[in-house]
Amino acid sequence: MKVIKITGRMSVKRLRKELYEKEGLRVCVYSSATSTEPASDESTLSKVSFVRIPTNFLEIRGNMLVENFEKMFLERFGVRIEVVDKEGRAVDKSFSLSQANLKKCI
């Protein structure tokens, strides 16, 4: 199990970097919960969230499904993310996070 500290001041770039380094996940962070436009790397999570983000820790388990991970992130932090592959295409939602781990695919 991996743990990532999430705060509202965290940048989109840092979130993406930490998810990749700790779990091998590549994610697209959207500019709002209903937008299809990616957020800029310089945006903070509080800027793209529809809720106030308390400092919190995110526990990531390899057996969690991609669909559940994305849903949990939206519900807990108010930030819409999507797990993507190397080409930026959405990963199958029925995959586990271990199956979506890009570091294992290299």
pTM value is 0.87
- Count CA within 13 A, CB hemisphere, residue 30: 19
Question: For the chain, what are the domain ranges?
Answer: 2-105
Q: What is the pLDDT along the chain (106 residues), one digit of tens a residue?
A: 688 888 899 999 999 999 999 888 999 999 998 889 999 999 999 999 999 888 888 888 889 999 999 999 999 899 999 999 988 999 999 999 999 987 665 4
- For position 106, what pLDDT does the model report? 41
Instruction: Report residue 5 as tokens.
Output: 């500290």
Instruction: Report residue 45 as tokens.
Output: 């999570």
- Count CA within 13 A, CB hemisphere, residue 28: 17
